[in-house]
Chain A
């Protein structure tokens, strides 16, 4: 599912474009370990493949992250979700939404797609159980009309997992 359907997406600002092109070049020169960018001609939506680190519950499993950039990136955080099927994880809902503070309230414009990826991989790596969040069904039902996770008022689970 694509949850960006709600508000019509605005084109990237020139600043966002410059910054994303720079990120893309840097990614190509020095991609973060465990990640692969699926090349498209769409700068505003990246699809990134992530492979679980060896020695973790997700070892050798591959998932796809979809990163959508807002007009005012990097002032505003990108929208990051897992494409179906999302990994089983206490902070990842079955619709792909991720409960991770840096994607919402704790976003900083100094973060990059690469640093987001690293945070998500580390979130996966530190998990000790493969299960959905407790409120998964309720949450997913509430999002049925294509709501973006950025529109959710997140309360953050403890960060032990």
Chain B
């Protein structure tokens, strides 16, 4: 008799494994003990995933008469309050369902909850204003997340920071190294452009920012610290309006269906829908482009949206800009239709204090 119950439980664990496949890490079949990584139902659209969680479910030999313990092993995009909310919900569900077998139901419940919570929460860590204003109809600031840690920022805020970082790198490289080494250094720096998340310092790749950089690419030469017009232009750009409409559509769907999203006929949601279409560029073309050529030809300099990454002026920076542009171009040439070449000379946007080490 005891064996029969055990068999049932083991069969249930097998069912969990069948449903979740590699997302389930089985530590013990009986009494059941496993880790399960869960994503919201929208997670196949990576740019629309803002949360995820790894739960640990551990049952006693008395399971299912006794509910299993549920813990959070790891999560992204959930602050303490939302973590608690998720756990409490699953734990009370476990008590409610006992003494029935419940492992699959618990996981599904967690997915349900994650789907309902699948939106950035709280304030932008850079400007401290809400990421998602209450009133979605208002002129909302677009936001984005870093893929490595799911920390979210207003796109505009993180781009401003990124550009600041790039221009400071150029500055410090110019003062730190001898002219002979400088270009090499800078070249290298731009080639493996990696940033650290301002919140958790986890490294992320510059390409994480590509889809938002593309948005400002054509405005970058006018971007300045506090220019309202630029923000407005950015917010009203066609790309951004479409992006926002899609987000709002998804959010509304999420609300209507409490997280369960079935694609509606008139809304096409594609993975990476904000990402530019990759275009293969013959590598011979890239390697043959010389920096001199690019310098003489302003349209080459701003092509490939490289202008969005680095905006510094002066001859010392043109090399990085070019290499950055080339690298980006090699990876993907984004939205060629909207790549309006802006022939205007980039304007230095940050005024740096004199570095006193120069004065010594």
Contacts and interface: CB of A to CB of B under 8 A. Distances in A.
Interface of A: 6-7, 10, 13-15, 18-19, 22-23, 26, 70-72, 74-75, 108-110, 112, 147, 151, 153
A26 B161 CA distance: 22
B288 interface: no
A19 B128 contact: yes
A122 to B, nearest CB: 18
A94 B311 CA distance: 41
Contacts of B354: 7
Given A75-B164, A108-B201, A151-B356, A10 B351 contact: yes
Contact of B125 (A6, A13, A110, A147): A110
Interface string B185-209: 0000000000010110100000000
A141 to B, nearest CB: 15
Contacts of B127: 15, 18-19, 22
Contact of A109 (B126, B225, B350, B357): B126
A150 to B, nearest CB: 8
A70 B350 CA distance: 12
Interface of B: 125-129, 160-161, 164, 196, 198-199, 201, 225-226, 350-351, 353-354, 356-357
Contacts of B356: 6, 147, 151
Contacts of B125: 109-110
Given A10-B351, A19-B128, 7 more contacts: A7-B354, A13-B226, A14-B226, A15-B226, A22-B127, A72-B350, A110-B199
A109 B127 CA distance: 9
A151 B126 CA distance: 24
A110 B353 contact: no
A123 to B, nearest CB: 19
B350 A22 contact: no
Report, nearest first, the 7 A-B pairs whose CB atoms are least far apart. A14-B226, A110-B125, A110-B198, A151-B356, A22-B128, A75-B164, A108-B198
Main secondary structure of the interface of A (DSSP, over half): loop
Given A19-B127, A109-B126, A75 B226 contact: no
A26 B128 contact: yes
B160 A23 contact: no
Nearest to B354: A7
Main secondary structure of the interface of B (DSSP, over half): loop
A72 B164 CA distance: 10
Nearest to B224: A13
B126 A74 contact: yes
A72 B126 contact: no
A133 B225 CA distance: 38
A107 to B, nearest CB: 10
Contact of B129 (A22, A75, A110): A22
B350 to A, nearest CB: 7
A23 B161 CA distance: 18
B198 A72 contact: no
8 contacts: A13-B225, A13-B226, A19-B126, A26-B128, A109-B126, A109-B161, A110-B199, A153-B357
A56 B164 CA distance: 39
A149 to B, nearest CB: 11
A34 to B, nearest CB: 21
A39 to B, nearest CB: 20
Contacts of A72: 164, 225, 350
A99 to B, nearest CB: 17
Contacts of A147: 356
Contacts of A13: 225-226
A18 B123 CA distance: 14
A108 B198 CA distance: 5
B168 to A, nearest CB: 8
Contacts of A23: 128
B148 to A, nearest CB: 15
A110 B127 CA distance: 8
Which of B127, B353, B356 has the most CB atoms of chain A within a 10 A radius of its CB? B353
Which of B128, B129, B350 has the most CB atoms of chain A within a 10 A radius of its CB? B128
Contacts of B357: 151, 153
A18 B350 CA distance: 18
A18 B199 CA distance: 20
B128 A75 contact: no
A2 to B, nearest CB: 16
Contacts of B160: 15, 75
A138 B201 CA distance: 34
A7 B198 CA distance: 28
